[in-house]
Amino acid sequence: MNKEKIRHLISQMTLEEKAGLCSGADFWSTKGVERLGIPAVSVSDGPHGLRKQSGEADHLGLNESIRAVCFPAGCAVAASFDRELAKTLGETLGEECQAEDISTILGPAMNIKRSPLCGRNFEYYSEDPLLSAELGAAYVKGVQSKNVGTSPKHFMANNQEYHRMTSDSRMDERTMREIYLASFEGMVKQARPWTIMNSYNKLNGTYLCENKEILTDILRKEWGFDGYVMTDWGAMNNRVEALQAGCNLEMPSSGGATDAEIAAAVREGTLSEELLDDSCEELLNIMFRYVENRDPSARLDLEKDHETARRIAEECIVLLKNEEQLLPLSPKTKTAFIGKYAAAPRYQGGGSSHINSFRVESALEQAENFADVVYAQGYDDAADVTDEALLSEAVEAAKHAKAAVIFAGLPDDFESEGYDRKHLRMPDCQNRLIEAVAEVQPNVAVVLHNGAPVEMPWLSKVKAVLEVYLGGQAVGSAAANVLYGKVNPGGRLPETFPLRLQDTPCFLTYGGENDRSEYREGVFAGYRYYTSKEMPVLFPFGYGLSYTTFDYQNLHVEKDSIKESEGLKVTVDVTNKGDRAGKEVVQLYVSPKDSKAIRPVRELRGFEKIELQPGETKTVSFTLDSRAFSYWNTEIHDWYAESGDYEIQIGKSAHEILLREAVHVESEKAIPKTFHLNSTLGEILADPKGKMIMEQAMGGAMGAGAAEMAKSADKDDAINAEMMAAMMEAMPLRQLLSFVPGVTKESLEQLVAALNA
């Protein structure tokens, strides 16, 4: 519906109707205005399947929802590093929404994985904002191509479950821009989501629902968002302030209470009716976009979508270890499938994303179709207690087989929406089982079902490890297909697996105190921290093996020196050296060489997933813009590509750089400087105009005094020239008064005036 028509509708609405449009009718739908033909529309979780509730509703996944397809969760999808795949997932969900008359799916979940302890990491993509933004954008484009809206969430700085509804995430401007906003920024700019969901928490003291800087100044004005903002379920604090800040829709219903507050505020003159009208326009614009583009032919095709879920799951599996090429297994090798998750995989997390799956496939049932397998349950995941009978049965089965595959991971209560993990351990009973099986069987592979990193104390005792994450309802058949080589694994870790919890960047402050969570690690999130500190990790960001090997050659950087606006084309040749087709994730990192800012040693600035046949070579190209070299500069409150040398690095992970090329970047942005008596000589001399003025002044009285000081450095060994240079560099202008004969307060003030003229 065009703007005029929407404006006309709004002009016919009563104040109460307009206020009413700004909160839900019930758990899952908005209010319609029948007499004006304004429809009520429904929304549904999200993100990795439909949780449409027709009976009793809740936002914690407690009550039944319709039978649907559970696709791989965000943790798994991210491991694909595959934009096309994320788009396919989006398209499929969009079709399902059309079939079920859902105007907006509540996803993707895009918060940065600040700590592996966050109970909800299984829904989120990555510790890296570029990867998260790119996959989020692809998902949003996919869903919206079916004329259904998305609600990327939880905007923003919602990186812990502990006290998520009241906690205050405190972070500096640069950290906010480079890490926590950046995850949403790229997605909003590329994919233009129809809606966005603000989070429960506060950011630097202000609830996100009321945060005008975030919801209006940044989201709408800077990034061009033109949809509507809805709250997370129950995330409203002050309804009137929230409306003024740019939050359009309160979800779920407030029972009319906050609608009355809005109407009263307009009557009292504390809220402008024009602002309310604008908010209604943003809401109606999106609601009609859905209603007017309904696809009446859409039907839920569970079988077809189950196949899609399997295909996606296969692409998300990460091979972490494969000694002596234990994998792929031969179907003829008698293999013991051990562990409850072989027969009943853990494939999704708990909470609002919980899907009522119409079918779940296990690796065991899939492998039994074509391979020689026996099964032993090994453990139960209801409690972390070793069942000695199950353990010895598993050890016996392993002894009498030629190989053992142990299906392990985190039980439901180890990670969930609503609370955080306390440690990175798997259940002791599972660790013990793996150790016991590895003692009697040299050929052990472990398949991990978990939404976030775990410690692997048994790693050196097993030959292979497959990370399948929470891979959705078809994860079992996907895992079997990878174990037996029907599919060559091509996933890569979208997050670092640390050696110990104590190594994680926010170990000392995660969770916070008194409802304040201080992000003191700043921009050093995830691999930015481990690589800058050169710390060993269990498995690095970007890491993953394949059943084939890849060779990288001919890194070519188009120019060795550029102006920042010119951009830079980079190419590299990748060859499949093995004898089976495989997929590789080519990762490009940028590393500043002589930055004056405190920056991570390298940051991911591009990635491409390619498929190569045996012997095939492909040239992969990247185009870097000035943002690839930039950090957020708090003096100019903008991105700043500092002049200097940078290295373009191509790697197999954040910790394994294979090829490097240098490039010089010339900044085109000036940082305006104001000088004062406390500006140091170093700062002044670094500025071209400052240098010129200073040199002139140095020629006069100041010059004579400085020459005296320099001479004394020559005379006295204790004051060597280097020390003198450092002292001068760091000396504030005002100190010249004490040390340089002939300098007066007036002459310094004149100098400052000239510097600032």
Residues recognised as catalytic: 232
Least separation, in Å, of the C-beta of 59 and ligand BGC?
3
Residues facing residue 661 across a β-bridge:
648
Q: Does 649 bind ligand BGC (CB under 6 A)?
A: no
Q: What is the DSSP string of 275-343?
A: HHHHHHHHHHHHHHHHHTT--TT----HHHHHHHHHHHHHHH-EEEEEGGG-PSPPTTS-EEEESHHHH
Q: Does 352 bind ligand BGC (CB under 6 A)?
A: yes
Among 232, 241, 564, 603, binds ligand BGC (CB under 6 A): 232
* Cα angle: 575, vertex 580, 583; to 5 degrees: 55
Least separation, in Å, of the C-beta of 46 and ligand BGC?
6
Q: What is the DSSP string of 698-742?
A: HHTHHHHHHHHHHHHHHH-TTS-HHHHHHHHHT-BGGGHHHHSTT
Contact 247, 229 (CB under 8 A): yes
Contact 187, 534 (CB under 8 A): no
Q: Which is nearer to ligand BGC, 153 or 163 (CB)?
A: 153
CB atoms within 10 A of CB 567: 14
Q: What is the DSSP string of 327-394?
A: PSPPTTS-EEEESHHHHS---S-BSTT--EES----HHHHHHTTS-EEEE----SSSS---HHHHHHH
Q: Which is nearer to ligand BGC, 18 or 153 (CB)?
A: 153
Q: Which is nearer to ligand BGC, 310 or 354 (CB)?
A: 354
Query: Which residue spans within 594-693 are E strands per DSSP?
Result: 603-612, 617-624, 631-633, 638-640, 644-653, 656-666
Q: Does 132 bind ligand BGC (CB under 6 A)?
A: no
Helices (H), 469-564: 475-483, 527-532
Looking at residue 677, the DSSP 8-state letter turns out to be T
Least separation, in Å, of the C-beta of 154 and ligand BGC?
6
Contact 408, 430 (CB under 8 A): yes
Distance (Å, whole) CA 85 – CA 168? 35
Query: Which has the closest alpha carbon to 270: 240, 237, 236?
Result: 240
Alpha carbon distances (Å) from 345 to 305, 336, 543: 19, 16, 24
Least separation, in Å, of the C-beta of 232 and ligand BGC?
5
CB atoms within 10 A of CB 609: 19
Phi, psi of 409 (to 5 degrees): 150, -160
Q: Does 527 bind ligand BGC (CB under 6 A)?
A: no
Among 125, 139, 184, 233, binds ligand BGC (CB under 6 A): 233
Q: Which is nearer to ligand BGC, 134 or 232 (CB)?
A: 232
The backbone region for 154, taken as left when phi is positive above 0, alpha when psi lies in -120 to 50, beta otherwise, is beta
Q: Does 420 bind ligand BGC (CB under 6 A)?
A: no
Cβ within 8 Å of residue 47, ≥6 positions away: 73, 74, 105, 106, 107, 108, 109, 123, 139, 353
Least separation, in Å, of the C-beta of 351 and ligand BGC?
7
Q: Does 59 bind ligand BGC (CB under 6 A)?
A: yes
Helices (H), 400-511: 428-440, 475-483
Question: What string marks each residue from 682 to 721 as x (binds ligand BGC by CB under 6 A) or -?
Answer: ----------------------------------------
Least separation, in Å, of the C-beta of 60 and ligand BGC?
6
Total interface residues for ligand BGC by CB under 6 A: 8
Least separation, in Å, of the C-beta of 424 and ligand BGC?
23
Query: Which has the closest alpha carbon to 356: 674, 9, 61?
Result: 61
Q: Which is nearer to ligand BGC, 167 or 352 (CB)?
A: 352
Least separation, in Å, of the C-beta of 286 and ligand BGC?
17
Residue 696, SS3 per DSSP:
helix
Q: Which is nearer to ligand BGC, 233 or 337 (CB)?
A: 233
> Residues of 291-318 as b/e, b for ≥16 C-beta within 10 angstroms?
beeeeeebebeeeebbebbbbbbbbbbb
Q: Does 48 bind ligand BGC (CB under 6 A)?
A: no
Distance (Å, whole) CA 606 – CA 335? 40
Distance (Å, whole) CA 192 – CA 227? 8
Least separation, in Å, of the C-beta of 354 and ligand BGC?
10
Distance (Å, whole) CA 733 – CA 735? 5
Q: Does 106 bind ligand BGC (CB under 6 A)?
A: yes
Q: Does 490 bind ligand BGC (CB under 6 A)?
A: no
Amino acid at 646: Y
Long-range interactions of 711-717: CB distance < 8 A, separation 24+? none
Residue 47: is the preceding peptide bond cis (ω within 30°)? yes
Among 46, 378, 411, 512, binds ligand BGC (CB under 6 A): 46
Query: Which has the closest alpha carbon to 38: 259, 230, 288?
Result: 288
Q: Which is nearer to ligand BGC, 46 or 328 (CB)?
A: 46
Least separation, in Å, of the C-beta of 253 and ligand BGC?
13
Least separation, in Å, of the C-beta of 57 and ligand BGC?
9
Q: Which is nearer to ligand BGC, 110 or 574 (CB)?
A: 110
Phi, psi of 134 (to 5 degrees): -65, -45
Least separation, in Å, of the C-beta of 538 and ligand BGC?
29
Least separation, in Å, of the C-beta of 293 and ligand BGC?
23
Residues facing residue 640 across a β-bridge:
631
Q: Which is nearer to ligand BGC, 132 or 352 (CB)?
A: 352
Q: Which is nearer to ligand BGC, 45 or 282 (CB)?
A: 45
Q: Does 153 bind ligand BGC (CB under 6 A)?
A: yes
Q: Does 290 bind ligand BGC (CB under 6 A)?
A: no
Q: Does 52 bind ligand BGC (CB under 6 A)?
A: no
Q: Which is nearer to ligand BGC, 194 or 375 (CB)?
A: 194
Q: Does 100 bind ligand BGC (CB under 6 A)?
A: no
- As given in the structure block, the two tokens for residue 182 are 């950046």
Q: Which residue has the tokens 């950087």?
A: 557
Among 17, 45, 178, 282, binds ligand BGC (CB under 6 A): 45
Residue 229, SS3 per DSSP:
strand
Q: Does 201 bind ligand BGC (CB under 6 A)?
A: no
Q: Does 350 bind ligand BGC (CB under 6 A)?
A: no
Q: Which is nearer to ligand BGC, 199 or 357 (CB)?
A: 199
Q: Which is nearer to ligand BGC, 46 or 505 (CB)?
A: 46
Alpha carbon distances (Å) from 144 to 58, 105, 289, 446, 632: 25, 10, 11, 38, 31
Q: Does 241 bind ligand BGC (CB under 6 A)?
A: no
Question: Which residues sit at the interface with ligand BGC, rule CB under 6 A?
Answer: 45-46, 59, 106, 153, 232-233, 352
